[in-house]
Amino acid sequence: QDGNAGVESKTAATPIQMVDMFHSAFGAHPARAVHAKGIILEGSFTPAPEARRLTRAPHLQGGTLPIVVRFSDFTGIPDIPDTVGASRPRGMAIKFQLPGTGSTDIIAHSFNGFPTATTDEFRSLLLAIGAAGSGNAAPLQQFLATHPVAKTFLTTQKPLTTSWATLSYFGVNAFKFTNQAGQVRFVRYQLIPDAGEQFLTKAQAATADPNYLQAELKQRVAAQPITFKLYAQLAEKGDVIENPSVAWPDSRKRVLLGTLSISRLAPNTVAEDKALFFNPNNVPAGINVADPMLVDRARTYPISVGERQ
Ligand code: HEM
């Protein structure tokens, strides 16, 4: 199906300009335009009974399904140290194998919100970060002075996490769920670790290895499965659907969609990395994109995938 289902982009920038905005900010790395450093794992997903009251999406009706999960650091820098500020927010991307054929994806990060309301503003921010990197700080200063949410995003990321497995992740952009009876709800995804959120102490952070997250995750998953709960946060009347920079209140009802059990490392070969392709509009019947930023994202991710072939 057409996951965009009538939602139109409101963006002036072309998809190629959107990929180039990341290269301008982070350098012209061909791996992934953003969230370049990461690790791939495998496991399974078991939907919760409440999920099918919200959507008729096939992976949320019952029965355990295989998943592939990629945890990542922010920026397009493939060897960014896990210890620097720019490595946050961290990313979590999930590919669910649908019953029969096909797949669906959820792509989330570890901040409940986004620095800008629109894609064009996000591009201005990234171009300003690029200019600052080349010695011209004025555009970034001006952007942050006029966009307080972006300033909050850049300055209030959580402390260094103990593990990619001890962070909560947020889908940020809204989707539309439709159930068997045709009832519609707008939702945002949340992924909450069963281990709870855990952070390094200042002393641990001061001595953490630049690649500590990969080493930690390998050890953790060899000992026992990593589990997360997947929730849909439900919009109420008046909640903004089209602006990911505004988080919905924590008081909004959350419905449990299911449990992820991540049980083993994937091969993590170059071939696997090249072939693994997440897209936020890879959605089955019963789910549609609702925030037009998702349409922009859907057009941009394949260009970055093409660059790493
Ligand atoms: C206008 C907004 C956005 C644009 C243009 C954009 C673009 C991109 C691109 C080009 C990639 C690389 C895809 C690939 O090479 O496979 C990517 C990856 C990613 N993005 Fe976005 N993105 C946007 C917003 C977001 C938001 C709101 C989130 C989180 C909620 C997010 C989370 C991620 C993650 C986690 C990855 C890594 C996926 C993986 O592991 O392969 N992005 N994004």
Q: Are 166 and 220 in contact (CB under 8 A)?
A: no
Residue pointed to by tokens 């001006």: 142
pLDDT in tens, 93-103: 999 999 999 99
Q: What is the dihedral of CA 71, 77, 83, 85, to 10 degrees?
A: -100
Return left, alpha or beta for 100; rule: phi > 0 is left, psi -120 to 50 is alpha, else beta.
left
Instruction: Quote the CA–CA distance of 117 and 71 in Å, as a whole number.
Output: 25
pLDDT range class, residue 193, cuts 50, 70, 90: very high
Over range 43-71, report the average pLDDT: 98
Q: Which fold has domain 31-116+158-279?
A: Catalase HpII,  Chain A, domain 1 (2.40.180)
pLDDT range class, residue 189, cuts 50, 70, 90: very high
Over range 70-90, report the average pLDDT: 97
Q: Which residues of 176-198 are buried (b: 16+ CB within 10 A; e: fewer)?
A: bbbbeeeeebbbbbbbbbebeee
Q: Cα(25) to centroid of ligand 1, in Å? A: 14
Over range 123-134, report the average pLDDT: 97
Active-site residue flag, 29:
no
Burial grade of 254 (CB within 10 A; 0-12, 13-18, 19 or more): middle
Residue 56 has a CB neighbour count (10 Å cut-off) of 17
Q: Where are the domains of the chain?
A: 31-116+158-279
**Residue 307 Cα: closest atom of ligand 1:** 15
Provide the 8-state DSSP code for 304. H
102 bridge partner residues: none
Q: Cα(92) to centroid of ligand 1, in Å? A: 10
pLDDT range class, residue 2, cuts 50, 70, 90: low
Pocket lined around ligand 1, Cβ cut-off 6 Å: 18-19, 32-35, 38, 70, 72, 91, 93, 107-109, 114, 119, 122, 171-173, 244, 277-278, 293, 296-297, 300-301, 304-305
Share of the chain above pLDDT 90, in %: 97
- Kindly tell me if the per-residue pLDDT of 278 is higher than 80: yes
Question: What one-character-per-residue DSSP string does 134-165 give?
Answer: TT--HHHHHHHHH-HHHHHHHH-----BS-GG
Q: Cα(34) to centroid of ligand 1, in Å? A: 6
pLDDT of residue 132: 96
Over range 224-250, report the average pLDDT: 97
Could you give the ipTM of this predicted complex? 0.97
Instruction: Quote the CA–CA distance of 107 and 94 in Å, as a whole number.
Output: 6
Over range 224-235, report the average pLDDT: 98
pLDDT of residue 4: 75
Q: Are 141 and 125 in contact (CB under 8 A)?
A: no
pLDDT of residue 92: 99
